[in-house]
Amino acid sequence: MHTRTLGQGLQVSAIGFGAMGMSQSFGPNPGDRDDMVGVIRHAIDAGVTFIDTAEVYGPFDNEELVGDAIAPVRDQVVVATKFGFDLVTGESKGVDSRPSTIRAAVEGSLRRLKVDTIDLLYQHRVDPDVPIEDVAGTVGDLIAEGKARHFGLSEPGVRTLRRAHATTPVTAVQNEYSLWTRDPEQDILPALRELGIGLVAFSPLGKGFLTGAIKPGHQFGEGEYRASTPRFSQDGIEANYRLVERVTALAASHDATPGQVALAWLLARESFIVPIPGTRRRERVDENAAATQVALSADDIAELTALIDTVGVAGDRYAADAMKMVGIESAEKE
């Protein structure tokens, strides 16, 4: 596995692992917890040593799962987690990045992850009621105390990013970025390039859509948040499947899968981009890791990049109520 360097010198595997789906959002959680621990350890054995979690995933269960998985190999792993929600009752009541909340969240994360230091600590979503300088300053203090090594932000606006970075240097921004979610290209990517900050791309496979596994007529199971997402409505799937067909055709010419091509395209965009696909299956771990071996030509990259204009994408990436709940709307309008 190749490595990449995010801002402030943080070296990570070129493909990371997003653990969220092991605890929520993609239908019933796996019954065999030990098997999920095994999947994460399989990823580490395959060289995928950048593991992403958050206190809100579950909540709390995902950090405990990741903590158990990485315990025997802590020195081989870069672990990222996130604060930023009011979870006093165990359910998210909205964003909360008050300094006291940050500190309480970090203490809980350290305990659940069974680590002394969090390698990359993100603010999960911007809190409009707390100045970002207070957030960045609190994380800076935690770094000075040895409880965190690096500071990150998820889904910030550019002005917020610049203000945070001026207070405590930002190592990475985590945004949704893929062949069918191109929002970071407008403002965030140029700012990251200028400031020397990495981009960690979540949902790099379009929440599974870009693998070709979700076809017109697909029925989602109980508990699947994609079922309420406009892009995954029946009309949305049918319209958007044209994108998958084009990616699949290109993948066939490279003896690769559509998912591998989607990841290889991201890797080719910028040297500071690190995708973090998630999965519950070992074979998908291996498939994703092998995307680093897919060599796309300049023409391939240009063709894939143009798909958003030539084919288009139907539907928003979140339902309106979900956008408001997680604070994305305010960041995008900043």
| Predicted confidence (pLDDT) per residue in 210-247, tens digit | 999 999 999 998 878 898 899 999 999 999 999 999 99
The domain segmentation of the chain, as residue ranges, is: 3-332
For tokens 């973090």, the residue is 276
Report, as residue numbers or ranges, the catalytic residues: 57
Instruction: Please tell me what DSSP assigns to residue 150.
Output: E
Cα gap 96→86, rounded to integer Å: 5
- Model pLDDT, residue 329: 46
Average pLDDT over residues 136-147: 98
Rama region for 115: left / alpha / beta (φ>0; ψ in -120 to 50; rest): beta
Cα gap 144→76, rounded to integer Å: 23
Instruction: Please tell me what DSSP assigns to residue 162.
Output: H
Cα gap 12→51, rounded to integer Å: 9
Q: How many contiguous H segments (helices) and E segments (strands) does the chain have?
A: 12, 10
Contact by Cβ (8 Å): 259, 287: yes
The two tokens of residue 280 are 């519950």
φ, ψ at 202 (rounded to 5°): -90, 160
Taking CA 194 as the corner, what is the angle to CA 190 and CA 195, rounded to the nearest 5 degrees? 120
For 3-332, which CATH superfamily applies?
A: NADP-dependent oxidoreductase domain (3.20.20.100)
Average pLDDT over residues 37-62: 96
